[in-house]
Amino acid sequence: MRFSRIVFVLTALAFLTAAPAQATSCGKWDRMGAGQKSATIDRMIESVISGSGGRQYHVDRGAIGRCLWGYAQSIEYDFDAACADSRSAGMQALNGIFKEYVWSCAG
């Protein structure tokens, strides 16, 4: 029973995090001002909580959203740090960081 619940949650989260809206590369991120960075994070969070996957699988999108907004400044700092490190500044670096926050908020 517990295994099926874990599979259910993982499947739901896969839908939630499949393709965050407004995902960006480090090149674009580095050219943004502080307000643009905050707006980008907000749009990424909105895309998670407004997606249809959460409704289909009865995931508490409100709780996930509140958690993510609580971490918004940390997400921004982590994006800045990843983009400053040329070894981790690949195209998917920011998506990976964001997904880690989603997973931690959903867990």
Average pLDDT of the chain?
79
pLDDT band at residue 107 using 50, 70 and 90 as cut-offs: confident
Question: Which amino acid is it at 20?
Answer: P
Q: What is the pTM of this model?
A: 0.76
Question: pLDDT of 34-56, one tens digit each?
Answer: 999 999 999 999 888 886 555 55
d(CA 74, CA 49): 19
Q: What pLDDT does 69 receive?
A: 96
* Lowest-confidence region among 41-45, 71-75, 91-95: 91-95
Where along the chain do its domains lie? Answer: 2-106
Measured in Å, how far apart are the chain's first and last C-alpha atoms? 17
